[in-house]
Chain A
Amino acid sequence: MELLTLFFILLIAAGLGLLIQWLPLRRQPMPTYPQRAPFLGGGLPETHAWSRFHVRYYPMTLLLIAFEMEMMFMYPWAVVFVEQGMKAVMEMGMFLAILSVGIVYGWREGVFKWQ
């Protein structure tokens, strides 16, 4: 019964949402084809815009390791940090120094540049 009520609520909510979207648009025709063409300052595209674009997964993966994975190791480290004291700080410092070499390398290669 409760499930049915929830279902009706969902139906009414979705119906209302669609109605609100449909009402103002009901008498408007689709924009014309020339209006829908991409704006190129009067020019026309020659090829279709369905072009494959490389996301460059490899640098993304390296960045994930450089920024996220070190955080993962820092959680257990934080637990034993008080027991171990200075030794833990030194070890984590070395670990972060090695990882930051990767970040500096990535920076030099321009992976942080928004493209």
Chain B
Amino acid sequence: MAVSWLSRLAAQSSVPVFPVRGIQGEAALHRLTLTPGVELVDSPRHASILLVAGGVPPDQHDALRRVHDQLPNPFATLWYRSEPLAELASATRVDDPDALPGTLMTAHQELMRGKRGSSPRLLPDEPPNPWEGLGDDGHGGEGMMGGVPYGRPMAMNMHDDIRDGLTLDSLTVTLGPFLPMLPPGLGAKVTLQGDLVQSWITQHAPYPIALESVFLEAREHPVPIAELELARARYHLQRLAFALRLAGLERLALESLRLAQGLSPDSRLEGLRRRLTRCGFFRLTTTGRGWLDETLARRVGGVAARAAGLEEDLRSQDAAYGRLKFTPVVQSDGDTNARWCQTLAEIEQSLQLARQAEREGLYSETTEAIETPRGPWGEQRPGDASGVIDDLLPGLEWDEAMTTLASLDLAAVSEWPQDVTQELGEAPGDGADAAEERRA
């Protein structure tokens, strides 16, 4: 009796969803974040529904199985524009972003009322490294540190400390590709010493990001500048929301996303900027960390390049932008804080350009070279730049490393626009290719 009452109560609560961010799933997740009754959580242990948003390349299916098996019973899976794993042939698949919240809520209610069975476990229930009951303390070896408990070696202080000489045991872990604090698809082998990043080796490049279709249209024919600039501001606001969520400023992240969703040339950024200053977001990042020199900044391109003082913006080559008296905004420091100042300045500039361009009804003129929010798209699309973090992050403390990573936009630009229903999980996935290239 009590249990049925409790489960009925649980069915009415908001749906805890753990999103696996696949290729081209971001747009749907941004909408889902703003949907009442759906809560996107950061760990599979807090979730009752696993939402695979976007395609997952076949070489990462093992990682997906591991995440799938970490949800507590009972749980369900939902596949948004993604082919379910072969073992889960009967899993629900949704392709319509409007139907997504409804399907999530129905699945959660059925699950809580016991009308729907839990998703089966995919991995065998056996210890990854069996216990070896050897040695005085059962640690599998002789001496204090000589064992391999559960088949894994003990963490040892094999590396010299690179912070203050106080050597700690270093812990090596493989992170990603579905860790919520990293860009989607980014996988890395990280050695930590305490909270200090000792080494960072990127193993999987982040998935290519899909830009709004207006940027791809701008490569083919002139498009209204107002539309182009609004899309640019939207992109930056969504990136800002990700960083804010990472910093624990959930409400500001929602505000930023809400601003992005209802963005018009009349939108104002002052309110958000004031709240960012007040809550200390800029103070969080004023450590002078994550500094990029000119070569690295040019390699990343876009906001990161201009934040390092490089006056590179393909919009200055467009005659229509010339009529709007466009000059690129630049910062000089090139660190994490400068990149966020630059991002906010660019959002403001984009809104202002959109206002002017709408009044004058201006269209872009150059189609050979356009400036995407990710960087310049001249002869080729902005490519993956995740190689720069291998040298940038070691020596930083974990929080600094994560704020630095969030301030950098590293993924390549996908050849597909955001809104096309494209099966990327099975088709030659962009992410798989990028990962292959990196390994080669």
**Residues of chain A having any CB pair with chain B under 8 Å:** 31-35, 37, 39-54, 56, 115
Contacts and interface: CB of A to CB of B under 8 A. Distances in A.
B155 A34 contact: no
Contacts of A48: 148-150, 152-155
A40 B175 contact: yes
A37 B154 contact: no
A37 B125 CA distance: 11
Given A47-B155, A115-B397, A41 B177 contact: yes
Contact of B153 (A31, A34, A40, A47): A47
Nearest to A45: B173
Interface of B: 43-45, 60, 62-64, 66-67, 69-73, 121, 123, 125-128, 148-150, 152-157, 166, 168-180, 182, 187, 194-195, 397
Contacts of B71: 35
B168 A52 contact: yes
| Most B CB within 10 A of own CB, among A48, A52, A53, A54 | A48
7 contacts: A32-B69, A34-B121, A41-B182, A42-B64, A44-B128, A49-B171, A51-B169
Given A32-B121, A48-B149, A52-B168, A42 B155 contact: no
A56 B422 CA distance: 54
| Most A CB within 10 A of own CB, among B70, B154, B180 | B70
Contacts of A41: 63, 67, 175-180, 182, 187
A40 B195 CA distance: 16
A35 B148 CA distance: 22
A32 B43 CA distance: 17
B285 to A, nearest CB: 15
B130 to A, nearest CB: 10
- B interface, over-half SS: loop
B166 A45 contact: no
B123 A34 contact: yes
B174 A44 contact: yes
- A interface, over-half SS: loop
Contacts of B128: 33-34, 37, 44
A20 to B, nearest CB: 13
Nearest to A42: B63
Given A47-B155, A50-B154, A32 B173 contact: no
B66 A34 contact: yes
A6 to B, nearest CB: 33
| Most B CB within 10 A of own CB, among A33, A34, A37 | A34
A38 to B, nearest CB: 8
Nearest to A113: B397
A92 B70 CA distance: 59
Given A42-B177, A42-B178, A43-B187, A35 B72 contact: yes
| Most B CB within 10 A of own CB, among A34, A42, A53, A115 | A42
A47 B154 contact: yes
A40 B157 CA distance: 22
Contacts of A35: 69-72, 121
B21 to A, nearest CB: 10
A46 B172 contact: yes
Given A39-B44, A39-B45, A47-B155, A33 B127 contact: yes
Contacts of A45: 152, 171-174
Contact of B169 (A32, A39, A52): A52
B72 A31 contact: yes
B18 to A, nearest CB: 10
Contacts of B152: 45-48
A34 B60 contact: no
Given A41-B63, A44-B174, A47-B172, 5 more contacts: A33-B125, A33-B126, A41-B179, A48-B148, A51-B170
Nearest to B399: A115
